[in-house]
Amino acid sequence: MRIGVFVCWCGSNIAKTVDVQAVAEAAKDMPGVAFATDYKYMCSEPGQNIVKDAIREHKLDRIVIASCSPRLHEPTFQRCIGDAGLNPYMVEMANLREHCSWVHEHTPETTQKAIELVRMAVAKVSKDQPLFRKDIDLTKRALVIGGGIAGIQAALDIADAGHPVVLVERTPSIGGHMAQYDKTFPTLDCAACILTPKMVDCASHPLIDIWTYSEVEEVKGFVGNFEVTIRKRAKSVDETKCTGCGLCLEKCPMKGISSEFDESMGTRRAIYRPFPQAVPNKPAIDRAHCRLFNGQKCGVCQKLCPAGAIDYDQQDQLVTENFGGIVVATGFQLWNHAALGEYGYGKYPNVISSIQFERIMNASGPTDGHIVRPSDGKTPKSIAFLSCIGSRDDTHGHAYCSKVCCMYNAKQALLVKDKLHDVDTYVFYMDIRANGKGYEEFVRRTIEDFGANYIRGRVSRIYPDGDQLVIKGADTLLGKPVEVRADLVVLATAMEPQHDAKDLARKLGISTDQYNWFSEAHPKLKPVEVLTDGIYLAGACQYPKDIPDTVAQASGAASKVIGLFSKPSIKSQPMIAYINEDTCAGCGLCTEVCPFGAIDLVEVMDRSKSTREKQVMKTVAQVNEGVCKGCGTCSAACRSLSARLRGFEGNQILAEIDALAESKRS
Amino acid sequence: MKYAFFPGCSMESTAGDFRMSTLAVAEALGVELEEIPDWSCCGSTPAHATDSLLAASLPARNLAIAQDMGKDVVVCCASCYSRLASANVALAENADLRAQVAEITGREYAGGLKIRHFLQVLNEDIGLSEIKDSVVKSLSGLKVACYYGCLLTRPKELSILNDPEDPQLMDNIMAAAGAEPVEWPYKTECCGASFSITRTETVERLSGDILRMAKQSGADCIVAACPLCQSNLDLRQADVEKATGEKIGLPVFYFTQLLGHALGIPDAALGINKLMVDPSAILAR
């Protein structure tokens, strides 16, 4: 055994408080050490060359780098010694910087501690075993969950790079919330004009399969090899036969069902497509409202359908498919303001939410774009827009800012003035958060060129008076109570995670924050990744985002998938757990504590009890090597020392402790 | 049903009719209200506006005495309710405060009592159907605006109402007594409270708004649950009318008075004759 020790100054970071030369000198006397030296920047190219040259010259087989945290440079030195012909895992880092020089004064004890850290690393490296990465096969096919603008963008980017994509959407059409909007801030291009071409691109792309009316049921496997079960709900319409002629939509006798797409501002029938530009442009039967499925006589759609596409006997299909990477783009939902007593619990017809107002403004919406009051169809002469309805409001569970409301309030106030001219607009706000390209200018335009009355303050109560609504609030700039009378009140309700976000997170094995937004792997440097490899986030399922941010992140997620698929196979991380099946009692404690769900219980032959005549089976734990992150929780929990971690074996840890104890004795 | 009853100072004086009617209704419905012996002032607004220790100590003394009675404490005055309930929570949660208060009052009290408003007793313990069955003189045809004010509804944590923005407890009782509660938006607006004395014009404006809104909403009368609210709306009504030159003429009852009337208790025993705005016309209908 010939160990080399390389002590780094880290400029002055370590050398200021630690006598690095004394550390290198001391290392020379440690057991197994054949060479020791120090250098100003061991991670630099000349520093790495010192290591490589020493390995050749002194025939070193194990290396200790006494420098910074392994989190920073362990991969650097693994590569370095690998280049010099050693197994890359025969290196140990002694953390002289974070664990010593940074936290101590320049005293002899500091140098002594540095020597002890090196002694421990030397002891550990002497027990190191070569480790090897395995190649894992990879399915170059992506799953995108959620067919809003985030999912659409991600699917298109991945497919354009040449990889097949399945886009799963739970409503009958892709398009998401963006399809509901009228125009988009700050450029006022119509949402449909920029979205529907992308929807059509998805539908016509040879590498994209769109599965609408479908939901993810179960996710198994790991990066490169996910096995996903998807429920394709029965549409009662055979998509291969349906031509999308729309005859059934006109003749279905079940009228007046509140339209989800129109946010209850319009109606649909039992057989429906959410909106005329739906993709796929083929209807589905909503069985909860269909006469036939509720025991009544009907069958009108089947009789009329010229293509014979109506199939009442269709069943939900469970399909299990393999994917290499997953993009989660499930978006958001809007908080229901019916929780607010002060604004009438959703009982006043002329108090509506901003998304409802979008539908009224939309030229293809339920009023053909005529801005009218829900109560009597009259054109409003005054409209009040209220910000932060549930957002930045801890008492209603959303301490966060919903981020987009300031901008769409300004957009709606501008557009309504543009359409109606003879209308007074009021915007109640807490702060105006217009931080985006062209955003602040846009808000100024709404105020200065379109005469919106911005009132800084919150509204305490809304009540009807005659056919108007009285809005009582505070103007905190004037320091006075204000009262505004309006024909229509528009509430900018908080964005919140989908009601079943937590369920999906559990299925995917990813984590959520306190509100159930999906958690990214790092808030700054890994905003697209999650802690599970191969799964990426796009759009508002992570936290409220506007369209530009959503599209940017979707492309980011897509590029991560494309990057993953650019390799022929995936290299496994060797420093992971394994189970000694001979001693494992199958208690299952490790499966419970594993934060990544990487351990399963399996049946194997019990070699100690089986004979040639009779096989005896027993239950043992088994580590899924693609999923294990090497955190070591299982090996700490295992009562029979059967769960072990490569690179952190019991004898390695004990050697470190012995070395420390020895230095204390001497 | 037995309770420890904390009447409070108002019910000894300006709200004597609230006390009379409360006791009469309680008796009629088989509720025993046993007065807390040697009770003292809850501290009301002056205490908690000046000193938080005083604001906890004054109610604490009463709660310590009530503790020995082993029953839920029932309060009618909204201000007393608010003070007793908030001290009850503060003493249960804060050990330091508890020790300081014990030294001042000479009595140990660590929270644990239930502080209830009489409206809760009627809704939850007696029940609306029992009230309905006990009505002998239905209030049918009478449109009432139930007015809750501030102290029964705020803060949300102490509110007697599961719905502080659109409270229903009084509305439920009035409906059970046959009356028709009107929907109106000023149920929890401020009447001006104790500014009645120092800034009368503020109270005239705030109480005036409430009176006019009740009238505009079609009410024949207002029903209140707080001595100060009742006094501002009833006693100051003439001033409001004088200031605006607009006749309002809305009688302002305690909920116990109208309920007592429906239960067949003679008006004199309910103190109805003490109201400033004459209710005889609407009661005679």
Indicate yes or no: CB of B165 within 8 angstroms of CB of A340.
yes
B104-114 pLDDT, tens digit per residue, is: 999 999 889 99
pLDDT for position A666: 61
Amino acid at position B134, single letter: S
Q: Which of A23, A37, A29 is nearest to A96 (CA)?
A: A23
Q: Which B residues, 76 through 135, put their C-beta within 8 Å of a C-beta on chain A?
A: none
pLDDT for position A242: 95
Q: Which of A57, A56, A88 is nearest to A65 (CA)?
A: A88
Indicate yes or no: CB of A341 within 8 angstroms of CB of B185.
no
Give percent of chain A above pLDDT 90. 90
First to last CA, chain A: 24
Are the CB atoms for A320 and A307 separated by under 8 Å?
no
SS3 state at A345: coil
Is a pLDDT exceeding 90 seen at residue A130? yes
pLDDT-derived band at A626 (thresholds 50, 70, 90) equals confident
pLDDT-derived band at A221 (thresholds 50, 70, 90) equals confident
Is a pLDDT exceeding 90 seen at residue A513? yes
Q: In terms of CA atoms, which chain A residue is nearest residue B164? A: A341
| CATH architecture observed for domain A577-646 | 2-Layer Sandwich (3.30)
B140-181 pLDDT, tens digit per residue, is: 999 999 999 999 988 877 777 768 888 999 999 999 999 999
B1-20 pLDDT, tens digit per residue, is: 899 999 999 999 999 999 99
Of the candidates A341, A395, A463, the beta carbon closest to that of B163 is on A341
pLDDT-derived band at B56 (thresholds 50, 70, 90) equals very high
B59-74 pLDDT, tens digit per residue, is: 999 999 999 999 999 9
Give the closest-approach CA distance of A14 to chain B in angstroms: 49
Is a pLDDT exceeding 90 seen at residue B34? yes
Looking at the domain that runs over B2-118, which CATH code has it been given? 1.20.1050.140
CA dist., res. A241 & res. B166, Å (int): 54
Left if phi > 0, otherwise alpha if psi is -120 to 50, otherwise beta: which for A437? beta
Looking at the domain that runs over B130-284, which CATH code has it been given? 3.40.50.11810
Is a pLDDT exceeding 90 seen at residue A24? yes
pLDDT-derived band at B215 (thresholds 50, 70, 90) equals very high
Q: In terms of CA atoms, which chain A residue is nearest residue B217? A: A465
Strand A488-493 versus strand A382-389 pairing type = parallel
In a mutational test of the B interface, the residue from A395, A459, A463, A468 whose CB has the highest number of chain B CBs within 10 Å is A463
Q: What's the mean per-residue pLDDT of chain B?
A: 94
For chain B, the domains span: 2-118, 130-284
A464 CB neighbours in chain B (<8 A) are: 185
Indicate yes or no: CB of B165 within 8 angstroms of CB of A342.
yes
Q: Which of B27, B51, B31 is nearest to B104 (CA)?
A: B51
Superfamily of domain A335-496: FAD/NAD(P)-binding domain (3.50.50.60)
Is a pLDDT exceeding 80 seen at residue B285? no
> Do the domains A335-496 and A142-331+535-565 match in fold?
yes
Residues A225/A226/A227/A233 CA torsion (nearest 10 deg): -140
SS3 state at B31: coil
Question: Which residues on chain A place their C-beta less than 8 Å from a C-beta of chain B?
Answer: 340-342, 345, 395, 461, 463-464, 470
Indicate yes or no: CB of B166 within 8 angstroms of CB of A463.
no
H, E, C per residue of B202-220:
HHHHHHHHHHHHHHHCCCC
In a mutational test of the A interface, the residue from B150, B161, B162, B165 whose CB has the highest number of chain A CBs within 10 Å is B165
pLDDT-derived band at A663 (thresholds 50, 70, 90) equals confident
Indicate yes or no: CB of A463 within 8 angstroms of CB of B185.
yes
ipTM for the assembly: 0.81
pLDDT for position B165: 85
Residue with tokens 């937004």: A517
Is a pLDDT exceeding 70 seen at residue B274? yes
Assign a CATH topology to domain A3-131: Rossmann fold (3.40.50)
CA dist., res. A429 & res. A405, Å (int): 10
Q: What is the mean pLDDT of residues A389-416?
A: 96
Strands (E), A86-141: 91-95, 135-136
A461 CB neighbours in chain B (<8 A) are: 185
Residue with tokens 């055979």: A238
Indicate yes or no: CB of A341 within 8 angstroms of CB of B164.
yes
Between residues B159 and A447, the one the model is more confident about: A447
Q: Which of A329, A325, A330 is nearest to A221 (CA)?
A: A325
- What is the Rg, in whole angstroms, of the alpha carbon atoms belonging to chain A? 32
Between residues A393 and A665, the one the model is more confident about: A393
Q: What's the mean per-residue pLDDT of chain A?
A: 95
DSSP A403: S
Residue with tokens 């934060």: A595
CA dist., res. A336 & res. A263, Å (int): 11
B156 CB neighbours in chain A (<8 A) are: 395
CATH of A142-331+535-565, one of 3.30.450.20, 3.20.20.150, 3.40.50.980, 3.50.50.60: 3.50.50.60
- Packing angle, helices B255-262 and B16-28, rounded to 10: 40
Helices (H), A324-397: 354-361
Give the closest-approach CA distance of B72 to chain A in angstroms: 29
Q: What is the mean pLDDT of residues A600-613?
A: 88
Task: Give the predicted TM-score (pTM) of the model.
Answer: 0.81
Give the DSSP per-residue string, A232-289.
E---SB-TTT-----HHHHH-S---EEPTTTTTSSEE-SEE-SSTT-BS---EE-TTT
Amino acid at position B215, single letter: K
CA dist., res. B214 & res. A230, Å (int): 58
Indicate yes or no: CB of B156 within 8 angstroms of CB of A463.
no
pLDDT for position A40: 96
Q: Does B183 touch chain A (CB under 8 A)?
A: no
Q: In terms of CA atoms, which chain B residue is nearest residue A342? A: B165
Q: Which of A100, A124, A122 is nearest to A26 (CA)?
A: A122
Q: What is the mean pLDDT of residues A336-356?
A: 91
CA dist., res. A36 & res. A33, Å (int): 7
Are the CB atoms for A148 and A198 separated by under 8 Å?
no
At residue A212, what are phi and psi to the nearest 5 degrees? -90, 170
Give the closest-approach CA distance of A193 to chain B in angstroms: 43
CB pairs under 8 A between A and B: 12
Q: What is the mean pLDDT of residues A310-315?
A: 96
Q: Which long-range contacts (CB under 8 A, 24 or more apart) does B277-282 make?
A: B277/B234, B277/B237, B277/B249, B277/B250, B277/B251, B277/B252, B278/B251, B279/B221, B279/B251, B279/B253, B282/B142, B282/B220, B282/B221, B282/B251
Write the CA distances from A220 to A324, A514, A621, integer angstroms. 12, 25, 17
pLDDT for position B250: 97
Question: Both tokens of residue B57?
Answer: 């100590």
pLDDT-derived band at A625 (thresholds 50, 70, 90) equals confident
In a mutational test of the B interface, the residue from A337, A340, A342, A348 whose CB has the highest number of chain B CBs within 10 Å is A342
| Strands laid side by side in the A3-8 sheet | A33-39, A3-8, A62-67, A91-95
For chain A, the domains span: 3-131, 142-331+535-565, 335-496, 577-646
